Amino acid sequence: MKELVGTEKVVWSCNEWDPLEEVIVGVVEGAIVPVWNPALQATTPKHAKSFFEKYGGKPFPKVMIEEASKELDGLVKVLESAGVKVRRPEITNIDFSKTYETPWWKSQGLYAAMPRDIIMVIGDIMVEAPMAWRSRYFEIFAYRNLMKEYFNKGARWLAAPKPSMADSFYNQDYHPDRAMIDGVKQFVVSEAEIAFDAADFVRFGTDILVQKSNVTNALGIEWVRRHIGPEYTIHEVNFGDEHPMHIDTTIVPLGPGKLLINPSWVDKKDIPKMFDSWDIIEAPAPVKAYDSALYFSSDWLTMNFLSIDDKKIIVEENERPLMDLLESHGFQTIPIPFRHFYPFGGSMHCATTDIRRRGILQSYF
Ligand code: NVA
């Protein structure tokens, strides 16, 4: 296999822990609260419904945007002081509040806060995810100038076919209260068309793990498998989150041979055999010291941190038990405030996407 190092390529990232050199950090300005809909209901905590009923179709409250934006700027500062080049999406030409219309439906946009959901870098390929929420149909345009720049400098660019997101694309019978039927997980997206979000994939060099979820279907997984090249092996995993959407609070690689798992969703017997020689580390329960409710996710955003390399990890400053655990395994933790970003649906891992990590493509198994 040809070995490449990050500095030779403008876009290059093969795993979650090699030294980070360039990253996209999302923005929350212009974020719009989605109107309640079946795809949203599939993964949203029950308590959040009243928030969507009150604000659906309107901007997120100004104070939420301001506080989260400050925290994103704080993340940018920490990254820059660690020598990481930070890029931000452009939202000047996108009004997320504007209603757009396709032949099948109308929707407003959402935000450009979570680059991890929509762009996945695999080696030197930028994979543009097709997404599965109507509110995210045009979100990629916030990143297109950046992607064009990377493309002009030599990166490869793969865009998956977008599903129509017509009613027929969603399982009309799906209800989150019936998410398991006869031991089989049900999803709001059907197999009628290709769908995936990038955040359902997690990269370990030549091996990539993926879960089916309420935004990622088997066709989407097969599309990625066939397009990224024979050097990669995609392994489908299935853990205990009954309403899955994005794998980055379920399993998080810390470095070669070290995997952090969410003990409330991951039964060790469901971890693929290839991890037998790895240290499997159980994450501590989330601290829940937050003054704001979470509208799109579980409390396990605890685990949604960002590794600068295989020794340094940026974590939310309230997560002391997590920091203690990581430190006991030899990691240096960099605590920053991020709890006001949480209600937008993620922490630092979601709020970023790797553009370049220095390292080689290799197998860790
Ligand atoms: N759906 C998962 C991942 C969010 C980033 C959760 O709620 O924990």
Phi-psi bin for 106: left (phi > 0), alpha (psi -120 to 50), beta?
beta
Distance 244 CA to ligand 1 centre (A): 7
Amino acid sitting at position 188: V
Catalytic residue positions?
197, 246, 350
pLDDT tens-digit readout, 166-194: 999 999 999 999 999 999 999 999 999 99
Q: Which tokens sit at 311?
A: 């020794």
Average pLDDT over every residue of 324-334:
98
Say if residues 164 and 107 touch (Cβ distance below 8 Å).
no
Distance 245 CA to ligand 1 centre (A): 6
Backbone φ, ψ for residue 43 (5° rounding): -130, 5
Ligand 1 environment, Cβ below 6 A = 43, 245-246, 248-249, 297-298, 300, 304, 346, 350
Which DSSP symbol is given to 101?
Answer: E
Q: Whose CA is nearest to atom 1 of ligand 1?
A: 245
- Closest ligand 1 atom, residue 294 Cα: 7
pLDDT tens-digit readout, 128-174: 999 999 999 999 999 999 999 999 999 999 999 999 999 999 999 99
Return all residues near 77 (Cβ < 8 A) that are at least 6 apart.
none
Distance 87 CA to ligand 1 centre (A): 24
Q: Compute and round to an integer the Cα radius of gyration of the chain.
A: 19
8 confidence band (pLDDT: 50, 70, 90):
confident
Average pLDDT, the chain: 96
225 confidence band (pLDDT: 50, 70, 90):
very high
Locate the DSSP E strands across 225-285.
233-237, 251-255, 258-261, 279-282
Measured distance CA(109)–CA(139) in Å, rounded? 7
Place of tokens 């822990």: 17
Say if residues 154 and 124 touch (Cβ distance below 8 Å).
yes
293 confidence band (pLDDT: 50, 70, 90):
confident
4 confidence band (pLDDT: 50, 70, 90):
low
Q: Whose CA is nearest to atom 4 of ligand 1?
A: 297
Ligand 1 mutation target, pool 187, 197, 294, 297, most atoms within 8 A of CB: 297
Average pLDDT over every residue of 58-66:
98
- Closest ligand 1 atom, residue 199 Cα: 5
In percent, how much of the chain has pLDDT > 70?
97
